[in-house]
Structure 1
Amino acid sequence: MIGSVQRAMRLLESVAEHEYGAPAKQLARETGLALPTAYHLLRTLVHEGYLRRDRGLFFLGEAAERLGRSGAAQKRRSTVADTLAQWRDSIGVPVYYARYRDGEIEIMCVSDTPGNPAVEEWADFGETGHAHAIGQCLLSQLDEDARRDHLDRYPAQSITPYTVRDNRTLLRRLERMRRMEPVVERQEYALGTVCAAVPITVGTTASTMAISLPAHHADRLLPAARQLQSEIGRLLGSLAISISI
């Protein structure tokens, strides 16, 4: 019993260090727990209200917040979430915030509505960065060695008939991307969906804000991306601390 409590506390402490949430695999790795053990304890902590699960990521739950853990971090995340919700409503599209950290693509926050739903993660976003605008935008901000390292671990492969299918072609595309220009992707990750991602540099961290639309509204994609870019430029100073932590 004591051992189980200790393992659960380690998981809680690990989750508290990730204000934007973390997946079970990462938490298991950080705590040194076997993945089945981590899954079992995480489910228990969710059931008891100490954690909550959202889109495959674990966050501190209400019970943990009542203990005063990570209150400031949750407030910073709320700032980002509230801002994304404002942009979602003003532009009329789902809005995503993602960053590249420790060699991985991380979707940090998504704001959508039933009328404008986010893209369904039918293939792992982190492993298919070559296929979606978010991943391509983040990879375009990396140096050549970091790009090649990522693609060695997650090589380009066919996701839809429109996906770039090999690393060499993708690397050439990334090299041609213009700095600070929106990255556009049309049905490369999900059929029937088009996406655009706006690059953001916060310190040395590669980040992006992105949007998605049904393919039959593709004519709205670039104007919406430009509007998002304008909104980001206007508020980035006040958001910089929140999105960099």
Structure 2
Amino acid sequence: MAEKASGGVQSVERVFELLELITDADGEVTLSELAASTELPLPTIHRLLRTLVGMGYVRQLPNRRYALGPRLIRLGEGASKQLGAIARPQLARLVDALGETANMAVLDSDMVVYVGQVPSKHSMRMFTEVGRHAHTHATGVGKAILATLDDDVVRGIVGRAGMPTSTPMAIGDIDSLLAELDRIRERGYSIDEQEQEIGVRCFAVAVPHAPTPTAISVSGPVSRVDDAFAERAIPLLTDAARVLSQELGDAA
């Protein structure tokens, strides 16, 4: 019985290893590429892929390559909602203390997706809303997340996603972005200086040791979100990120 249980766990580990390898290969990979990236026997890889294809978690393309399947979207959406639910009390505390909108976002492929938000009581609303995707280089949460990654990984992300500039304030080249990420690493937080939306400023910090790259932020009009606001907001954001790190670790 113990041997069967152990074998079952091993099969689960192998399935997730394959899914992560497909993800790391930008979503498409051949059977031989998978075999070269893992110590699993080729027949085992083929058997597991056949099962995953049958369940809809992997697709086999006409060119015989394997790609992630549509059923994973449902799992990802469920996980995002759960992250947002865990974060909501901390986001609400930020709004109560600072009076501006608080957000949580995670890295989703080469973009950030907002998974949690508690809006400000002020009438002005930001572009952000739960479920919305945005480029990493032009958002506070995105830059906070990028600053936790190696420069080569950052180059890959923006190389695939591009660096569109929504406003004249946005960073439009990789060298400027990497220099900005060095500043973020040094000071411990990022700033969206009207880069996503003119008239809106955002401060963000990464959540350390999160199961997926994650950041939280507070955002509002530049008339209210100024240097004095930053002096109050950064310590509160940092503390909220620390608490969330613990809570996400407990939930894992």
TM range (shorter): 0.5 to 0.7
The equivalent position to 1:157 in structure 2, one of 160, 164, 176, is 164
1:233 correspondence with 2:242: yes
Distance in 1 (alpha carbons) for counterparts of 2:114 and 2:92 = 16
Kept in 1, the 8 Å contact 2:110–2:136? The answer is: no
Distance of aligned partners of 1:142 and 1:110 in 2 relative to their CA distance in 1, 3 Å threshold: same
Kept in 1, the 8 Å contact 2:111–2:136? The answer is: no
Kept in 1, the 8 Å contact 2:204–2:237? The answer is: no
Distance in 2 (alpha carbons) for counterparts of 1:149 and 1:234 = 31
Kept in 1, the 8 Å contact 2:100–2:119? The answer is: yes
1:187 correspondence with 2:246: no
TM, length-normalised to structure 1: 0.62
Gaps spanning 5+ residues in structure 2: where?
1-55, 57-68
Gaps spanning 5+ residues in structure 1: where?
1-6, 22-58, 60-73
Match of 1:28 in 2: none
Report the residue type matching 1:227 in the other structure: L
Residues 103-125 of structure 1, C-alpha deviations (whole Å, 9 max, x = no match) = 43221111113426552149x96
Q: CA deviation at 1:193?
A: 0.6
Structure with bigger gyration radius = 2
Distance in 2 (alpha carbons) for counterparts of 1:152 and 1:187 = 23
Distance of aligned partners of 1:232 and 1:127 in 2 relative to their CA distance in 1, 3 Å threshold: closer
Q: CA deviation at 1:223?
A: 2.1
Report the residue type matching 1:181 in the other structure: G
Residues 27-86 of structure 1, C-alpha deviations (whole Å, 9 max, x = no match) = xxxxxxxxxxxxxxxxxxxxxxxxxxxxxxxx7xxxxxxxxxxxxxx5x64332233223
Kept in 2, the 8 Å contact 1:194–1:221? The answer is: no
Distance of aligned partners of 1:116 and 1:231 in 2 relative to their CA distance in 1, 3 Å threshold: farther
Report the residue type matching 2:89 in the other structure: D
Match of 1:104 in 2: 111
Question: What percentage of aligned pairs have identical amino acids?
Answer: 20
